[in-house]
Amino acid sequence: MSKKENLNNKNPFLSTQKNFVVPVLLLLLKNWNSHGYELMQRLTEFGFKSIDQGNFYRILRQLEKENLVKSTWDTSSRGPAKRIYSITDAGIKYLELWAHSLEQYQNMLNQFFKMYSNMFSPFQELDKDDK
């Protein structure tokens, strides 16, 4: 496969989206506790296109192992028990770090698009013709 074909097959959005799952999960858990299935639905509503269920639950288990989230068994409803996830104090601190980093990243993105739009503005060609 040529470099050009390889570049065409890579989607940087998918990589960014994969890394963005953790802060979004923590944010979703900030104000309410939730079942895993409900979290998956909210991620989809947030804009994540496809969520691999197995990978999703591995992420939740890893977050729990890192003490960023905790879970308890909900046996109050009929049917099998379900885990209810909630954010921990460490998870809140981690979320705050992510928010600060994303704010800095947002500033860089704003600069990128400002520069990009200046370079590819349709009025740029008109300005060149006037000179």
pLDDT 10s digits, 27-66 = 999 999 999 999 999 999 999 887 889 999 999 999 999 9
* Whole-angstrom distance, CA of residue 61 vs CA of residue 18: 16
Location of structure tokens 């890192």: 66
The helix/strand/coil state of 21 is helix
Model confidence pTM above 0.85: no
Domains of the chain: 3-130 (1.10.10.10)
Per-residue tokens: 46: 């947030």
**Alpha helical stretches, state H, the chain:** 3-9, 12-31, 36-46, 53-65, 89-119, 122-130
DSSP code at position 84: E
